[in-house]
Structure 1
Amino acid sequence: LTALPPDRTFVSVAHFGTGAWAVTGKLTARDPDGCEEYYFLKIAYGETGRIMLGGEYESSKTIYQIMPDFIPKPIGYGKYYSSREWDTYFYLSEFIHVDIVVRSPNAAEFTSRLAQMHKLSRSPTGKFGFHVQTCDGDRAHVVDWQDSWAVFFRNLFLGVCDLDLKRNGPWPEYELAIKQVAYKVIPRLLEPLQANGRELKPCIIHGHLWDGNVGIDSATGQSILFDAGSYFAHNEMEL
């Protein structure tokens, strides 16, 4: 309740929507005039939940600062005081009524807005990375700041592969292929992008972009993003 904006009074919360890695709900509150306001609530558990929802909050804040009409306004993130067996975390944002008839945005309009977000963004360090860990689903990104896009991409790739091996067990042939891709293929393909004086701008990306994380704001008719797991990257990483 402390995450709600000042002078808002909690009314109720109900299950709303579905999520593969979190419980989602619609929270109702009243403003000082007695009018109802709605918020989107997401709940997740344990260390994975902390990273996932904390990363989404910081990602959404970053995107919202650049294009406030492109993602629901982030309201708050934190840990429940009354958690029992599991540490329980929440993320609270503005509730957007999404068009349920026309579910997919116009491709030209959406990609134009996405490109605008890339162009307007500025890495605070001038490097590739992010200031907190973010996720793709429940898989945490490796987002340590790097000057080199090739190094950053290699670390990101190795992080996914390491998680795969932890979850599914060793596989010698696969592990050999990982090393070949990480230390031969990636440098050969990506290092030239910043060689011989070439510059590559780190752009904020959504980081978890698929058709389930985009929609149309029914109030404006514009495309909108959800469930961000951002970091500053080559803009084509969004593809």
Structure 2
Amino acid sequence: MATDVRNVNEHLKLDENLLAVLPEGGEVVSVKPSGMSDYCNTFRIEVRLPDGSTQVFFEKEGSGEQGPGLVESAFTSESAAYEFIPEHVPRPVALGTYKSRPDRHFFLAEFVEMIEDDIPRPESYMAAVAALHSRSMGKSPTGQFGFPVNTRFGDLPQDNTWTTSWEEYWTRQMRDFLDREDAAHNGEPHEELERLRTLLFEKVLPRYLRPLESDGRSVTPCLIHADLWPGNVKYMADGETVCMFDACAMWGHNEVDLGVFRNPRYPLGKPYLKEYWKHVPISEPEEDVDSRNSLYMLRGQILLSVLYPYDLKLREIFVNNMRLLVERVEEEEAAQRNAPQVHL
């Protein structure tokens, strides 16, 4: 167990259960807030070791009803990613509950110094993403799509119940996300959204997901980070190696992680997608990849509309993109109806 030797009031010292998972014989010499989070408190903890060296840790603290799920999501997601790309993920250390405050829970990891302002170049960014996907491909613990726990996007639980079909898994998640989006807006009527929602499930999802698992094709689950916006991917202090964190992991179709790179909200775009395809082959049917990319982009846009319902622009953004997908499918259907019939 470590000791908190800071000159602070006793009630400000670190909890006994947290000290128990810090290095044996270490002395806590500094605890500072670390970054910003809308849902958890985060801290940088510096520990002086018996040999005089120091080690720094990152703590994420969750409290209240959501607290246990938030820290469990962080620990389980980061542990899974660390298994496959330890050079790109801070080493998870512990998950626990305060002894002095049973309503407070913590996730502890090694602290990694990062460069805050720079968005990594496509080559660095996508090398880490491709490594996660390639090394984990086919290693789902059940061989199915899902995850051992329900992870969190922000503070929103994600239903990760194990499922054998990718289309079934993704359809279930999209129904859940759209239900939450509707609830976040107090069921406020939106006729266009309701029209498009029906067509999304009747036409769009079957059109672009079912071919992945038809005619002898299949989707091999790999580990997905599922929140790869630039705030969660930074250069380490060396300015070369990328650090990925704050995953809300699941075992799924690797292309899900590419949806964020299409989102105009982030300064990423085609150079990052092109770099990824240098490392990982496009799923068949290849001609559908652009439409699948648009479809997977919807996930993040819908969830942002759930988290920030007061910003109605977020709702209109995903509604417009849903409309484009519906129109694309309907244009395909019209072209097939009007195609010349060949009689043998």
Task: State if a TM-score over 0.5 links the two structures.
Answer: yes
**What pairs up with 1:46-57 in 2 under 5 angstroms?**
46-57=64-75
How far did residue 95 of structure 1 move?
A: 0.6
Question: C-alpha separation between the residues in 2 aligned to 1:68 and 1:223?
Answer: 11
Residue equivalent to 2:106: 90
Contact 2:221–2:251 under 8 Å retained in 1 = yes
**What pairs up with 1:5-16 in 2 under 5 angstroms?**
5-16=23-34
Number of aligned residue pairs: 236
Matched, 1:215 2:230: no
- Equivalent residue for 1:232, pick from 251, 256, 263: 251
Residue equivalent to 2:177: 160
Q: TM-score, normalised by structure 2?
A: 0.64
The structure carrying a bigger helix percent of its residues is: 2
Give the number of the structure whose alpha-carbon radius of gyration is greater.
2
Question: C-alpha separation between the residues in 2 aligned to 1:233 and 1:189?
Answer: 15
- Equivalent residue for 1:112, pick from 109, 112, 127: 127
Residue equivalent to 1:69: 87
Identity of aligned residues (%): 33
Contact 1:216–1:223 under 8 Å retained in 2 = yes
- Equivalent residue for 2:37, pick from 19, 23, 26: 19
**Match of 1:186, as an amino acid?**
L
How far did residue 190 of structure 1 move?
A: 0.5
Q: How has the CA–CA distance of structure 1 residues 81 and 235 changed in structure 2, closer, same or farther, with 3 Å as cutoff? A: same
Residue equivalent to 2:287: none
Q: How has the CA–CA distance of structure 1 residues 81 and 166 changed in structure 2, closer, same or farther, with 3 Å as cutoff? A: farther
**Cα deviations by residue, 1:87-130 (Å, 9 ceiling, x for unpaired):** 22211111111124x62112112212211210110211111110
Please, which runs of 5 or more residues in structure 2 have no aligned partner?
A: 1-18, 259-344
**Cα deviations by residue, 1:9-68 (Å, 9 ceiling, x for unpaired):** 333312122112211111111223132211111112223222122111111111111111
Question: C-alpha separation between the residues in 2 aligned to 1:93 and 1:22?
Answer: 15
Residue equivalent to 1:170: 187
Question: C-alpha separation between the residues in 2 aligned to 1:15 and 1:113?
Answer: 27
The one of the two structures with greater contact order (alpha-carbon pairs below 8 A, sep at least 6) is 1
Contact 1:24–1:41 under 8 Å retained in 2 = yes
Contact 1:56–1:228 under 8 Å retained in 2 = yes
How far did residue 178 of structure 1 move?
A: 3.2
**Match of 1:90, as an amino acid?**
F
**Match of 2:120, as an amino acid?**
P
Q: TM-score, normalised by structure 1?
A: 0.90
Contact 2:124–2:240 under 8 Å retained in 1 = no
Please, which runs of 5 or more residues in structure 1 have no aligned partner?
A: none
Q: Residue 47 of structure 1: SS of its match in structure 2?
A: coil
